[in-house]
Amino acid sequence: MALKALDYDSLNENVKKCQYAVRGELYLRASELQKEGKKIIFTNVGNPHALGQKPLTFPRQVVALCQAPFLLEDPNVGMIFPADAIARARHYLSLTSGGLGAYSDSRGLPGVRKEVADFIQRRDGYPSDPELIFLTDGASKGVMQILNCVIRGDGDGILVPVPQYPLYSATISLLGGTLVPYYLDESENWGLDVNNLRQSVAQARSQGISVRAMVIINPGNPTGQCLSEANLREILKFCYNEKLVLLGDEVYQQNIYQDERPFISSKKVLMDMGSPFSKEVQLVSFHTVSKGYWGECGQRGGYFEMTNIPPRVVEEIYKVASIALSPNVSAQIFMGLMVSPPKPGDISYDQFTRESKGILESLRRRAKIMTDGFNSCKNVVCNFTEGAMYSFPQIRLPAGALQAAKQAGKVPDVFYCLKLLEATGISTVPGSGFGQKEGVFHLRTTILPAEEEMPEIMDSFKKFNDEFMTQYDNTVGYSRM
């Protein structure tokens, strides 16, 4: 009998091929255990509010007023909302044509895109054009839109770091392109070696693949490293020589936990390099309201900025964005607020600063507690989390554990993470979901559990790990670095 269009065997093969480990086997098992009444610590997703982070007060006040504009007409509104939140709500409503219930332009509200451009200009010291900024439903949708424009078929390759955040591998699969991996160097704190890049491109070309774009994630997910300015220059030169569009995923730009290597945007480095690079290299940079000290993942707000993309191409990207009519309008307002927070002298400035500093300082402490905790465990080594929201320790599995995993029909790091979940309730993502070198195993946790719960979580991890290692440490030989 003929198959129906949505029978499994007739499905688009690209959909079946696509894998997304952050919500994979471990997450499903954790959800089952939770239903059975076990306490689960979900460290698999960088979802700060789900782990207890409180929303910043000022942006929620502004958006609440935009959602319920009748409150602005209430004579008592000033008793509940500060005057700067009221003024800002009126400002954003004036930028819309019909409030939050109306579609906006498919690129986003022009007034908010102007605020984003002003932010980029303040951050980098170079002009930014609102016409080249599109607002999106989270950074994910922006990445998908751009990859959709770049990938023409399986002969097109995209350079992606390994380990990587699986948005990239999954989207490339869905669009039928080819992922060209370049390996980050764990022994160099997950640094990026341009010689590796050259090798990856040469190898892909020898297989007839046309390499068209390069992804960087800075700060890194899952690896947590911050790229140096020198490294960014090398990357941009490489893209110039190879005619690659650079996709700069900079969603963790506020999440920095050391002072030696502050965040520097790819756009700034490119502009600093001057001509011909600044006029030639094609760059698309992504940002979001989901990360930083905002953590407003559920709002689904993001933007991308295009540099050196010809106007005709921008028009085409606009056309395709129009198919979805409009990005989420309340999320656009979150974005506007993120890029223009209260200023010194504003009524809400002190509270906003107190809240945001409190979150960032605590994340900095948590990054250290976590990496120190991992490094105190048997057969575990972990680079310091310099930025982003994750720790990515390497787990050196004894031969006995590799054998047991094989018997259970599991990839070794999936086996380890499942055992960890069953024993402690800690839900992580196995390193195989992000890509890693053959025969080397990792796991990823977020650094987001509440600070006061962190020591207990790390104790319970250590107890599990050290017992696991003793249990399987009956043979010679380990997985290696």
The nearer residue to ligand DCS, 22 or 150, going by C-beta atoms, is: 22
Closest approach of Cβ 50 to ligand DCS, in Å?
Answer: 10
Closest approach of Cβ 170 to ligand DCS, in Å?
Answer: 11
The nearer residue to ligand DCS, 50 or 411, going by C-beta atoms, is: 50
The nearer residue to ligand DCS, 181 or 398, going by C-beta atoms, is: 181
- Cα distances from 278 to residues 89, 158, 239, in angstroms, run 37, 22, 12
The footprint of ligand DCS (CB under 6 A) covers 22, 45-47, 138-140, 165, 167, 217, 221, 249, 251, 288, 290, 297, 302
Closest approach of Cβ 320 to ligand DCS, in Å?
Answer: 18
Q: How many CB atoms lie within 10 A of CB 366?
A: 22
- The 8-class DSSP code of residue 348 comes to T
- Tell me the C-alpha distance between 43 and 48, whole Å: 10
Closest approach of Cβ 42 to ligand DCS, in Å?
Answer: 10
Phi, psi dihedrals of residue 420, rounded to the nearest 5°: -60, -45
The nearer residue to ligand DCS, 44 or 106, going by C-beta atoms, is: 44
Nearest residue (beta carbon) to ligand DCS: 138
Tokens of 303: 């933007």
The nearer residue to ligand DCS, 146 or 397, going by C-beta atoms, is: 146
The nearer residue to ligand DCS, 302 or 342, going by C-beta atoms, is: 302
SS3 225: coil
SS3 per residue for 364-429? HHHHHHHHHHHHCCCCEECCCCCECCEECCEECCEHHHHHHHHHHCCCHHHHHHHHHHHHHCEECE
Q: How many CB atoms lie within 10 A of CB 362?
A: 17
The nearer residue to ligand DCS, 22 or 401, going by C-beta atoms, is: 22
- Tell me the C-alpha distance between 418 and 309, whole Å: 45
The nearer residue to ligand DCS, 132 or 170, going by C-beta atoms, is: 170
SS3 236: helix
Closest approach of Cβ 53 to ligand DCS, in Å?
Answer: 13
The nearer residue to ligand DCS, 132 or 167, going by C-beta atoms, is: 167
Phi, psi dihedrals of residue 82, rounded to the nearest 5°: -70, 155
Beta bridge partners of 217: 249
Sign of the dihedral through C-alpha 76, 82, 88, 92: negative
- Tell me the C-alpha distance between 247 and 143, whole Å: 8
- Tell me the C-alpha distance between 359 and 365, whole Å: 10
Closest approach of Cβ 84 to ligand DCS, in Å?
Answer: 27
Closest approach of Cβ 287 to ligand DCS, in Å?
Answer: 8
Closest approach of Cβ 294 to ligand DCS, in Å?
Answer: 11
Closest approach of Cβ 214 to ligand DCS, in Å?
Answer: 15
